[in-house]
Amino acid sequence: MAWDIEVIDECAVVRMNTNKVNVQNEHFFDDLHRAFDRLESEFSELPVVITGQGDVFSAGIDFQYSFEIFGSGNQGTIQNWYKAYRETNLRVFRYPRPTVAAINGHAIAGGLITALDCDFRVAARKHVKFGLNEVPIGIPMPAAYVEIIKYTLGDKVAALTTLRGEIYGLEEAERLGFFHEVVAPDELLPTAIRYARCIAPDCNIAYAMSKVALQDSTNRQIDERTVALDALLPVGMSDPGNRLAQDRRRQEIMHKRK
C-alpha cells in the first residue's frame, strides 16, 4: 500500500502504512522511495512531516525477512540488502527540504534511525519505547548509520545508545536528546508542522544549501570511508554468535505473537 501524502497547512504530511507497525522490509523500502518520488515531483516546494499510525512510529527491520538474509552466508545477498536499506535512510537524511519526524509511538532500531534521518523530531507524550538495540540482538551497526546517529545525537550519546543497545522510556529518551520537543498526542501533528514550516518557501534554496554544509563531513564519511567498513558486514551478520543472538530474538518475537 502506497503511503498517504496529505497537504496540511502548506506541509506535506506523509503517513507510513506499509504494515501494522511499519516493520522495515523490501515493501517498506519500496513505499518510502515511492513516497519521496511523489514528494519530489508533486510537492517539491513543501516541507515534510513523516509519521506512523497508532502507537507505533516504526518497529524497525522485519526480523523474519532480514534474519534469513543475514544467515544466508551469501555475501552478495547481504550487501544488496544493506545497499537497499542504506539508500532509504539517505533518501530521507539528504532531502533538501525541512523534514520532521512526528513520532506517534514506539521507534525501535531501524525505526528510530528513520526518525533520526529527519532534521527535527517531535514525540507524543505516551508510554512508549525507543532505542537502537541492534548490537544486543546480533546485528553489527552499519557504519553509515553510525555516522547519521553521531550527526544527530553527538558522539557521546551515539556511543552509549549504539554499543549498549538499551531500550528507553520516553523520559530517558528525552533526556538523551532524541527529540526536539515532546508534546501531548493531540498536539503532535500541529507542532511537527510548525517545525517543518520553520522557513518561508522562498528560502528553500538557502535551507537546502545550509543543510548540505551542515551534513558535509557526515556525508563525506558515508561516501568515502564507510565502504570498507561496511564491506565486512556480511561476515559480521553471519557470525555464529550473532546468529545465535538473532535466533533468540526471533523466538522471543514468535512467542509474543502466540
Determine the pLDDT at residue 241.
Answer: 84
Determine the pLDDT at residue 1.
Answer: 57
Q: Is residue 220 part of a domain?
A: no
Q: How many other CB atoms sit within 10 Å of the CB of residue 118?
A: 25
Cα dihedral 63→64→69→71 (10° resolution): 90
Q: Is residue 240 part of a domain?
A: no
Please give the grid coordinates belonging to residue 257: 505473537
Q: Is residue 19 part of a domain?
A: yes
Determine the pLDDT at residue 256.
Answer: 64
Determine the pLDDT at residue 257.
Answer: 56
Report the domain count for the chain: 1
List per-residue pLDDT tens for the chain, 258 residues long. 589 999 999 999 999 999 999 999 999 999 999 999 999 999 999 999 999 999 999 999 887 777 778 777 778 888 888 888 899 999 999 999 999 999 999 999 999 999 999 999 999 999 999 999 999 988 889 899 999 999 999 999 999 999 999 999 999 999 999 999 999 999 999 999 999 999 999 999 999 999 999 999 999 999 987 777 878 887 877 778 877 887 787 777 656 655
CATH number at residue 158: 3.90.226.10
Helix/strand/coil (H/E/C) assignment for every residue in 123-167: EECCCCEEECCCHHHCCCCCHHHHHHHHHHHCHHHHHHHHHHCCE
Query: DSSP label at 223?
Result: I
Name the residue range of residue 125's domain.
4-185
b/e string for 64-78 if b means 16 or more Cβ within 10 A?
Answer: eebbebbbeeeeeeb
Q: Is residue 21 part of a domain?
A: yes
Q: Is residue 64 part of a domain?
A: yes
Measure the CA–CA gap between 94 and 209, rounded to whole angstroms. Answer: 11
Q: Is residue 115 part of a domain?
A: yes
Q: Is residue 201 part of a domain?
A: no
Q: Is residue 158 part of a domain?
A: yes
Return the residue matching grid coordinates 521507534: 107
- The pTM (predicted TM-score) of the whole model is 0.93
